[in-house]
C-alpha cells in the first residue's frame, strides 16, 4: 500500500486555490455591489466603477460554475 | 424476464431502498447551510436538490463497472451477499439519521458488502489494502482539505467585506449559495445514483438477465433516479439540523465558502480518480468555515460525535452485513425473507422512535440539537 502523495498534493493545491480564488472574487463583487447600493442612498448616483467591478467579478464566478457543470456532466467530455 | 428469481427481486427492492436512504441522508450535504442561512426556504431547498439528483442520475452514463471499486473480490459476490450488505448499509443509515449524525452512505455500503463477503466467501474475498487506499486515506484527507480551503476562504471573505454594508453582503452571499448548493446536488446525483444502478445492473448480469458488459436498462436508471430524488426531497431534516446548526452557527459568507470548498474538492478528486465521501467533505468544509470567522463557535462535542460515527460506520455496517449474510447463506430464500422482515421491523422501529422528537421543514432551524427523548435513546446511543 502506498500513498499517492502527488495526487493528494494536487487535490489539496487545486482545491484550496480554486476555493479561495472563487470566494475572494465573489466577495469583491459583493463589495462592489454594496458600494453601489450605499452610494445610491447618499447621492442617487449609479457609481459605474462599483457596478463594473461587481459585473466582472460575478462573470468570472459564473465562468467557474459553468466549468464545474462541464466537469460534472460526462456528455460534455 | 424469467431470470428474475425471488432473491433477485429482493435485491432490487433493497437496492432501491438503500438509494432512498442515501438520498435523504445526503440532502444535508448540499442544502444544510443554505437552509440555515435562509438562502433557500427549507421546502424549496429539498425540491431543488431532489430534482437535481434525479437529473444527475440520468446524466451519469459511466455506471460503476464494479460493485465495490475493487474493495471486495467481485467474482465471489453473490446476490445473497449483495442483499445482506445492503441491509447493513440501510440500517446504519437509518440509525445515524435517528441520531442526527451525518455519516457516509458510501462507507455504509462498502462496510455492509465487506461484512457480507467476509462471512460469505472468507476473509480473502476482502481486499484490505484497497480498503486502506480507497476508504481510509480519502476519509482522513478530504475533510481536512475541504476544511482548510473553507477556513482560508471564510477568513478572506469576512476581511474583504468587513467595511461593506451588512445587509448587502448577506444578501449577495445568499444568492451565491443557491448556485454552489445546486452544484453539490448535481454532483451528488451523478455519483451516488450510479452506485445503486451499478449494484442492480451487476446483479442482473450475474443471473443472466442481462448480457455481459450491458449498460443499465432505462427502467433501472429511472427507478434509481426516482429513489434517490424522492429520498432527497423527503429530506433528512435531523441531519440537516446538525450540519446547518449543530456544528457551528453558519452565516451566509461561511455557507458560501463551505459549499465552494466542498464542490471544488468533490470535483477535483473525481477528476483525479479519488473516491471520497460527500458527507465528510461537506462536514469538513462547514467546520473550516466555522473556524474561519473569528469568535465563531464550533461545537466540538457535536463534531466529535460525528467523527466517532464516521469511524464506526464501516465496522458497524459490516457487522450487520455479516450477520445477515450468515442467515442468508444457511437459510436460503426463507432466511432472506426473514432478514428482510427483521430489517423492515427495525426500520419501522427507528421511524417510530424519530416521531418522539420529530425534526421537519418547519422546525429544522429552531435549535441546534437533535434529541430522542425516550428509553430508546440510551440503547441506540451506546450502539453508536
pLDDT in tens, chain B (384 residues): 556 788 899 999 999 999 999 998 999 999 999 999 999 999 999 999 999 999 988 887 565 666 666 788 878 888 899 999 999 999 999 999 999 999 999 899 999 999 999 999 888 889 888 888 878 888 888 999 999 999 999 999 999 999 888 888 999 999 999 999 999 898 888 878 888 888 888 888 878 888 777 778 889 999 999 999 999 999 889 999 999 999 998 999 999 999 999 999 988 887 766 667 889 999 999 999 999 987 677 999 999 999 999 999 999 999 999 999 999 989 888 999 999 999 999 999 999 999 888 898 888 888 888 887 644 444 444 333
Q: Is residue B43 part of a domain?
A: yes
Q: What is the pLDDT of residue B65?
A: 63
- CB-CB: which of A11, A33, A61 is closest to B272? A11
Q: Is residue B32 part of a domain?
A: yes
Q: What is the pLDDT of residue B361?
A: 85
Residues of A in CB contact (< 8 Å) with B are 1, 3, 7-8, 10-12, 14-16, 18-20, 22-24, 26-31, 33-35, 37-38, 61, 65, 68-69, 71-75
- CB-CB: which of A1, A14, A31 is closest to B160? A31
- Spatial neighbors of B129 by CB under 8 A, at least 6 apart, are A1
HEC string of B274-324 equals CCCCHHHHHHHHHHHHHHHCCCCCECHHHHHHHHHHHHHHHHHHHHHHHHH
CA of A27 vs chain B CAs: smallest distance (Å): 6
Element (H, E) at B102: none
What domain range includes position B151? 6-383
What is the Cα–Cα distance from B26 to B228, expressed in whole angstroms? Answer: 10
What is the Cα–Cα distance from B294 to A51, expressed in whole angstroms? Answer: 30
Q: Is residue B262 part of a domain?
A: yes
Q: Is residue B182 part of a domain?
A: yes
Q: What is the pLDDT of residue B157?
A: 95
Cα B341 to chain center, whole Å?
Answer: 24
Residues B380 and B353: beta-carbon distance below 8 Å: yes
Would an 8 Å CB–CB cutoff place B250 in contact with chain A? no
Per DSSP, the residues of B257-272 read: HHHHHHHHHHHHHHHT
Q: What is the pLDDT of residue B377?
A: 41
Q: What is the pLDDT of residue B227?
A: 95
Which is nearest to B87 in space by CA: B372, B290, B358, B336?
Answer: B336
Per-residue pLDDT tens over the stretch A28-67: 999 999 888 888 877 766 678 888 999 999 999 999 999 9
Joined together, the cell numbers standing for residue A76 give 460534455
Q: Is residue B1 part of a domain?
A: no
Residues 261..300 of B with a Cβ closer than 8 Å to A: which?
261, 263-265, 267-274
- CB-CB: which of B129, B165, B190 is closest to A1? B129
Count of structural domains within chain A? 1
Residues of chain A with Cβ-Cβ distance to B59 below 8 Å are 72-75
Contact A3 B164 (CB under 8 A): no
Which is nearest to B120 in space by CA: B82, B170, B169, B66?
Answer: B82
Q: Which of A18, A27, A32 has the most B C-beta neighbours within 10 Å, making it the best mutation to test the interface with B?
A: A27
Count of structural domains within chain B? 1
Interface size A-B, in CB pairs within 8 Å, comes to 127
Q: Is residue B281 part of a domain?
A: yes
What domain range includes position A71? 5-76
Q: What is the pLDDT of residue B375?
A: 41
Amino acid at each position: 500500500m502506498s500513498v499517492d502523495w502527488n495526487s493528494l498534493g494536487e487535490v489539496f493545491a487545486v482545491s484550496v486555490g480554486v476555493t479561495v480564488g472563487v470566494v475572494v472574487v465573489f466577495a469583491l463583487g459583493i463589495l462592489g455591489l454594496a458600494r453601489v447600493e450605499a452610494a445610491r442612498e447618499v447621492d442617487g448616483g449609479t457609481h459605474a466603477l462599483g457596478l463594473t467591478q461587481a459585473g466582472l467579478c460575478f462573470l468570472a464566478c459564473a465562468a467557474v460554475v459553468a466549468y464545474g457543470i462541464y466537469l460534472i456532466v460526462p456528455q460534455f467530455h | 424476464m424469467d431470470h428474475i428469481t425471488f432473491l433477485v427481486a429482493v435485491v432490487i427492492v433493497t437496492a432501491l431502498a438503500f438509494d432512498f436512504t442515501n438520498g435523504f441522508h445526503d440532502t444535508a450535504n448540499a442544502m444544510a447551510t443554505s437552509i440555515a442561512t435562509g438562502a433557500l426556504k427549507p421546502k424549496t431547498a429539498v425540491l431543488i436538490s431532489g430534482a437535481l439528483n434525479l437529473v444527475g442520475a440520468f446524466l451519469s452514463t459511466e455506471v460503476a463497472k464494479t460493485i465495490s471499486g475493487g474493495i471486495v473480490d467481485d467474482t465471489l459476490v453473490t446476490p445473497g451477499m449483495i442483499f445482506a450488505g445492503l441491509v447493513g448499509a440501510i440500517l446504519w443509515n437509518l440509525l445515524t439519521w435517528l441520531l442526527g449524525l451525518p455519516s457516509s452512505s458510501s462507507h455504509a455500503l462498502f462496510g455492509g458488502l465487506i461484512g457480507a463477503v467476509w462471512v460469505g466467501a472468507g476473509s480473502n474475498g476482502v481486499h484490505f489494502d484497497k480498503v486502506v487506499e480507497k476508504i481510509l486515506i480519502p476519509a482522513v484527507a478530504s475533510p481536512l482539505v475541504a476544511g482548510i480551503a473553507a477556513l482560508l476562504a471564510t477568513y478572506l471573505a469576512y476581511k474583504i467585506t468587513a467595511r461593506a454594508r451588512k445587509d448587502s453582503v448577506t444578501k449577495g452571499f445568499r444568492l451565491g449559495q443557491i448556485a454552489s448548493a445546486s452544484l453539490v446536488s448535481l454532483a451528488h446525483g451523478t455519483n451516488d445514483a450510479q452506485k445503486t444502478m451499478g449494484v442492480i445492473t451487476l446483479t442482473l448480469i450475474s443471473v443472466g438477465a442481462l448480457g455481459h458488459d450491458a449498460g443499465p436498462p432505462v427502467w433501472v436508471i429511472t427507478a434509481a433516479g426516482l429513489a434517490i430524488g424522492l429520498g432527497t426531497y423527503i429530506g433528512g431534516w435531523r441531519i440537516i439540523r446538525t450540519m446547518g446548526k449543530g456544528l457551528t452557527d453558519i452565516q451566509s459568507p461561511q455557507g458560501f465558502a463551505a459549499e465552494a470548498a466542498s464542490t471544488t474538492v468533490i470535483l477535483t478528486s473525481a477528476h483525479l480518480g479519488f473516491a471520497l465521501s460527500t458527507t465528510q467533505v461537506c462536514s469538513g468544509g462547514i467546520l473550516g468555515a466555522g473556524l474561519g470567522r473569528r469568535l465563531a463557535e464550533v461545537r466540538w462535542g457535536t463534531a466529535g460525535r460525528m467523527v466517532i460515527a464516521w469511524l464506526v460506520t464501516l465496522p458497524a455496517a459490516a457487522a450487520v452485513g455479516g450477520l445477515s449474510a450468515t442467515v442468508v447463506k444457511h437459510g436460503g430464500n426463507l432466511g432472506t425473507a426473514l432478514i428482510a422482515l427483521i430489517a423492515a421491523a427495525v426500520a419501522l422501529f427507528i421511524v417510530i422512535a424519530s416521531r418522539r422528537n420529530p425534526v421537519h421543514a418547519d422546525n429544522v432551524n429552531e435549535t441546534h440539537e437533535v434529541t430522542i427523548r425516550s428509553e430508546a435513546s440510551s440503547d441506540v446511543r451506546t450502539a453508536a
